[in-house]
A and B are shown apart, each in its own frame.
Chain A
């Protein structure tokens, strides 16, 4: 298993609905995870960081970390067309906790349909 995996295909959601993205990770010692948003042709932008088990909310975004099940998720409430992008999950690389290396998932494309 890769360090961080995003297995879902493209996600289409109607405007105003909730978009749900999931990411699994292999290292039980990982403490922190990140969600990046990447618009087509642009660079990844950090939108959520989560450092402890449970939920973290920021505006319409909620990140959830479940260490027992080794997954992290991102919920986008009241989805807007401007949320249409690829979302990347990232977590620390095992054995590299001291030098800030991250493993990235391949990303999930979200399309919000007006």
Chain B
């Protein structure tokens, strides 16, 4: 099984529908992130969570919400999907950074391709 699992892998939904993307991890990492990728724009941060009770907005949080149900689970919701939310969505995890080694990068999920029609 993958260390970070995203479901679904692909999803087509209609404008105005509520949709949830799920992410679960077996890394035991405390930090979890949701990014979206658009062609030519790289990866942009939507939300991040340092632990179950600590959730923060990223640069592009409008139109999204998240839930950290447990240390291992972090879900992203689109309350009312719109076509410009069509993108590739990534969940990622990392260990805490403090005095720890900066070389700790992210562990990525395989991504969810979301199309809003």
Asked if A pairs with B, the answer is no
* B residues lining the A interface (CB < 8 Å): none
* A residues lining the B interface (CB < 8 Å): none
